[in-house]
Amino acid sequence: MRVETSDMQIETLGEAKILSPLLKEDRGAIKQPFVSDQQRVLIHIAVDTVQDLIEQGRLLPTFELAGPREKIYFDPSKLRCAVVTCGGLCPGLNDIIRSIVLELYYHYGVRNIYGIRYGLQGFIPSYGHPVMDLTPDSVSNILDMGGSILGSSRGPQEMEEIVDSLERMNIGVLFMIGGDGTLMAACKIADTIKQRKLKISVIGIPKTIDNDIHLVSRSFGFDTAVDVATRAIIGAHNEARGYPNGIGLIKLMGRHSGFIAATASLAQQDVNFVLIPEVDFDLEAPKGFLASLEKRLAQRNHAVIVVAEGAGQKFFSSNSQEMDASGNVKLKDIGMFLKNAIIDYFKAKGIEINLKYIDPSYMIRSLPANPNDSVFCGFLGRDAVHAGMAGKTKLLIGRWNNHFVHIPMEASAGKRKQVSPRGKLWSAVLEATGQGSLKNEP
């Protein structure tokens, strides 16, 4: 991964001249720790990478550190903010909303906070979705609720209409919580705002349960997903051990990246095969998945398989690809495909098996965040508010090298983080499962 320093500059709406209300907070002997724009976080920390950059005479690329600034751009008494959640559901959405509202209301004194209903549709008058007033009372009890109190939607909307709506509502800061499609939309919204010479800050909070956002080391909801997926593995393992030639097959989230499948399999090391989008595999003998599964059953009388939803798409015809409302390819169901392939394979060989298929995906997506994710969401929401109040725009809040940082949207949007087949995570999976290559190499 190569990142240039010039790509990491954060846009601002103008000079921050107003003293932050946080200066007046009574913290006893402990002063509010403010952050300056000169405080940076190194992107590359590996010794060989840094040395390589130094030898080339290049500046070490860094992220701007997130956190409260001593001076802010917006007058809190006159500011109006909007919050919108887009795309698929994910544990932690309500935690983010609550964190944003409480930080704006109690620490900056912002009283006009609006929730946009059902994603970007909420900006378009023809849909008729009402705006929700967000107050401490309205968000006080939402941590134990799954999903999003604002609702969500997929699909593109007209940028000009969205900005028209922001202008009519006199919004100063827009907080957009969503995945890659949302971040790309946020870039376009910010560009349209800039073209119109409006003073509206656009702050993104990256949301993907798959943990696949470029330049973000961890996304909220991932920890909860691994937690629940681990329980599914425990159930599948118990089912598999309870029957002769028992097989537990679990399909987990992961359209393009197998982080959940790989991490959950390491957290609960009862898994014998992990299939992810980044690592190709074959079905047929002699080294394919089915022959390897047969060998495992002969040795141990049971097996547990974890497959990410985006794995094995090569087994389906590419001529029948469908797109969802957001323009994403609708994946074929690899879980059901493998289930049927396994049943047919052993039936043809006259070998009796007992297969249990588990797909907890939508249950996981709509659950409340676990405590670890909830704390993480709190940091993300508060730092998003600090960035917006300081007049920064077209950025997302992310975690990198143990710090919360400002990441330019364009540096991340449209790019994807994936499991490296030669990296430490996949190497650990291979060691834990002992599955080896499932590819019939020439």
How many other C-beta atoms lie within 10 A of the C-beta of residue 337? 16
Q: Which helix (H) or strand (E) holds 247?
A: strand 246-252
Q: How far apart are CA 291 and CA 74, in angstroms?
A: 64
Query: Number of C-alpha atoms within 13 angstroms, CB side, residue 258?
Result: 26
Whether 324 is catalytic is no
CA separation, residue 195 to residues 160, 163, 189, 198, 200 (Å):
11, 11, 10, 8, 12
Q: For strand 395-400 and strand 354-358, is the pairing parallel, antiparallel, or unpaired?
A: unpaired
Residue 233, token pair as written in the block: 């593995």
CA separation, residue 10 to residues 6, 201, 314 (Å):
10, 12, 40
Q: Which helix (H) or strand (E) holds 267?
A: helix 259-267
Can you give the length of the chain in residues? 442
Amino acid identity of residue 56, one-letter, is: Q
Do residues 211 and 267 lie in contact, with contact meaning Cβ atoms separated by under 8 Å?
A: no
Torsion angle, alpha carbons of 15, 21, 24, 25, to 10: -130
* Crossing angle of the two packed helices 180-195 and 159-168, in degrees rounded to 10: 70
Q: How far apart are CA 331 and CA 340, in angstroms?
A: 17
Q: How far apart are CA 63 and CA 187, in angstroms?
A: 18
Point out the catalytic residue in the list 180, 210, 223, 359.
210
Helix then strand then coil, in percent of the chain rounded to 5, is 40, 20, 45
- Residues acting as catalytic residues: 210
